[in-house]
């Protein structure tokens, strides 16, 4: 089934926002880059912020579906999946179009914690945290909330470090630290 014009616009805008940032991307640039007229763009979205929110929702759906599926492909046990998440990150870091986490960027560009874009970015991280806590619980961690939080912290730190250093190795460094934390959390 062919995507409708709105879905195509959101998908193309997502690519532009990911590449160039939110504040740096004006509606005129979006018109050029997406091939959608300003009239048509405003027919679907009253403001640029509405378009950003739609792009973030699409990115959340795509990323979490990919990440969870990839983690499950890489490992069979919950404990193994906690560690495999870092292998999935390493794959992502090596992609040619990799530019870090769109949600970290959104949180940095829209710092007011009540701003809808900041809220959307925080929700993405909260859902990832819930996923990691669930894996930690299934793995039998003494304190699954703490282990899940530690895994998320390592994941996010690896993402930021990989962008700033232009390297994929932070995923493996974070994986080594995650294994230490996991081993300690599973000690009976």
On whether residue 57 sits in a domain, the answer given is yes
Q: Count the neighbouring beta carbons within 10 Å of the beta carbon of residue 124.
A: 22
pLDDT of residue 17: 96
* Owner of token pair 């996991």: 182
Q: Check if the beta carbon of residue 17 is closer than 8 Å to that of residue 55.
A: yes
pLDDT of residue 179: 98
On whether residue 115 sits in a domain, the answer given is yes
In CATH, what number is assigned to the domain containing residue 72? 1.10.357.10
On whether residue 25 sits in a domain, the answer given is no
What range defines the domain where residue 109 resides? 52-186
pLDDT of residue 168: 86
Cα distance between residue 151 and residue 139, in whole Å: 13
Say how many domains are in the chain. 1
Burial class (CB in 10 A: 0-12, 13-18, 19+), 183: exposed
pLDDT of residue 1: 41
On whether residue 158 sits in a domain, the answer given is yes
pLDDT of residue 50: 96
On whether residue 175 sits in a domain, the answer given is yes
Residue-wise pLDDT tens for the chain (188 aa)? Answer: 456 888 989 999 999 999 999 999 998 999 998 888 888 888 999 999 999 999 999 999 999 999 999 999 999 999 999 999 999 999 999 998 999 999 999 999 999 999 999 999 999 999 999 999 999 999 999 999 999 999 999 999 999 999 999 998 999 999 999 999 999 999 75
Cα distance between residue 180 and residue 119, in whole Å: 32
Cα distance between residue 147 and residue 152, in whole Å: 9
Give percent helix, percent strand, percent coil of the chain, each to the nearest 5: 80, 0, 20
pTM above 0.75, yes or no: yes
H or E segment at 40? helix 38-44
């Amino acid at each position: 089934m062919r995507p409708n014009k709105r879905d195509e616009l959101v998908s193309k805008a997502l690519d532009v926002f990911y590449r160039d940032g939110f504040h740096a991307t004006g509606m005129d640039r979006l018109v050029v880059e997406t091939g959608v007229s300003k009239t048509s763009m405003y027919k679907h979205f009253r403001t640029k912020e509405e378009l950003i929110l739609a792009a973030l929702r699409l990115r959340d759906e795509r990323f979490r579906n990919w990440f969870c599926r990839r983690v499950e492909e890489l490992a069979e046990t919950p404990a193994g999946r906690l560690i495999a998440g870092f292998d999935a990150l390493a794959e992502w870091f090596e992609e040619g179009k990799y530019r870090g986490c769109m949600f970290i960027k959104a949180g940095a560009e829209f710092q007011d914690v009540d701003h809808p874009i900041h809220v959307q970015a925080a929700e993405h991280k909260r859902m990832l945290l819930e996923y990691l806590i669930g894996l930690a619980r299934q793995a039998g961690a003494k304190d699954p909330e703490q282990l899940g939080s530690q895994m998320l912290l390592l994941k996010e730190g690896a993402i930021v470090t990989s962008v700033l250093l232009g390297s994929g190795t932070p995923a493996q460094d974070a994986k080594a630290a995650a294994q230490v934390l996991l081993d300690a959390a599973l000690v009976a």
